[in-house]
Amino acid sequence: MIKDYIKLIRPLNDIMIGFSVIVGSFIASGRQIPYIHILIFGFLTGFFISSSSMILNDIIDINIDRVNNPNRPLPSGRVSVDKAYLMFYLFTILGLIFSVLTGIMTFLIALISYFIAILYNRKGKKSGFIGNIMVAYSMGVPLLYGAAMINKLNLNIMIYWLMIFLSGIAREITKGISDVEGDKIAGVKTLAVIFGRRTAAVIAFIFYAIAVSLSPLPVIMNKVYPIIYIIPISIVDIIFIASSIFTIIKPTKEISTKNKNISLIAMLIGLLGFLISTKP
């Protein structure tokens, strides 16, 4: 069914990646609106590259998901591996084509990000923490891509990227807590597998805390309207800290899965906060 193919690409993640590209361009330009076709091409690049990575991830993880997530489209058999590969190649080609339309720099960033995604799915995933870093890079790079679309990479963008990068590492560590059983079978060396769920939860908390500690910098640097920035970012900070503390207290599959999903919503709120608070 169509909904299974949609579920395979994880559309919420892909939309957030595409939206992050737009946010990056708005922040870097001082809230000036770039040409609409540039925004569309940037969004579609992020969406399709992210989608292709999600599909490949599920193809490679099919045996793990038979344990951790047996109801997903591939392990359940509702989508065949051959059709998933076809989608993967199609979405990859589309993403790279749209990246070329905004310049050589954006094409190179898209190509590097694509190969990092491939490396992660082929090798990095089983490395545990190194794989977490690869995923976190991919979560933050759309902001850099958006700034590169308009040739305006700057310190403010780098700070936002670092906040997303650090919280992304924390989220991936938390994800490992929820997937311990399947990861042990597959030989994936996550922090939760090596050191145990509670220790992994503590490490995730540390990364969230460092990300939160960076959040005042845009205000200090006078890059944002303080009140407009503080309200949404404070919500995000509270969600990160509270959810990670709950995971430490009760590092179960259910709690870590719930908090992993909540953190994704928090990141989206953070992107909106970056967008609406940036000064011209």
Report how far residue 152's alpha carbon sits from residue 149's, in angstroms, rounded to the nearest whole number.
Answer: 8
140 confidence band (pLDDT: 50, 70, 90): confident
Instruction: Give the per-residue pLDDT at 100.
Output: 94
pLDDT digits (tens, 9 = 90+) for 49-65: 999 988 998 888 887 77
Tell me if the pTM is above 0.85. no
Q: What ranges in 150-252 are assigned the alpha helix state H?
A: 155-178, 180-186, 191-195, 197-214, 217-220, 226-249
Contact 8, 55 (CB under 8 A): yes
pLDDT exceeds 90 at position 136: yes
Of 77, 176, 69, 84, the C-alpha closest to 132 is 176
pLDDT exceeds 90 at position 169: yes
Instruction: Give the per-residue pLDDT at 62.
Output: 84
pLDDT digits (tens, 9 = 90+) for 234-245: 999 999 999 999
pLDDT digits (tens, 9 = 90+) for 177-218: 988 887 887 788 899 999 999 999 999 999 999 999 999 999
Instruction: Give the per-residue pLDDT at 208.
Output: 96
Instruction: Give the per-residue pLDDT at 55.
Output: 92
pLDDT exceeds 80 at position 3: yes
Contact 165, 151 (CB under 8 A): no
- How large is the average pLDDT for residues 55-83? 84
pLDDT digits (tens, 9 = 90+) for 13-50: 898 889 889 888 888 887 677 778 888 999 999 999 99
CA-CA distances (angstroms) from residue 95 to 2, 48, 91, 107?
A: 21, 5, 6, 9
Instruction: Give the per-residue pLDDT at 23.
Output: 85
Instruction: Give the per-residue pLDDT at 45.
Output: 95
- 139: CB partners within 8 A, 6+ apart: 17, 164, 165, 168, 171, 267
pLDDT digits (tens, 9 = 90+) for 93-134: 999 999 999 989 999 999 998 889 888 878 887 888 999 999
Report how far residue 67's alpha carbon sits from residue 151's, in angstroms, rounded to the nearest whole number.
Answer: 45
Instruction: Give the per-residue pLDDT at 65.
Output: 77
Instruction: Give the per-residue pLDDT at 79.
Output: 87
pLDDT exceeds 90 at position 7: no
Q: How many CA atoms lie within 13 A of 74 on its CB side?
A: 24
Domains annotated for the chain, with CATH where assigned, are: 1-153 (1.10.357.140), 155-280 (1.20.120.1780)
Contact 114, 49 (CB under 8 A): yes
Instruction: Give the per-residue pLDDT at 254.
Output: 85
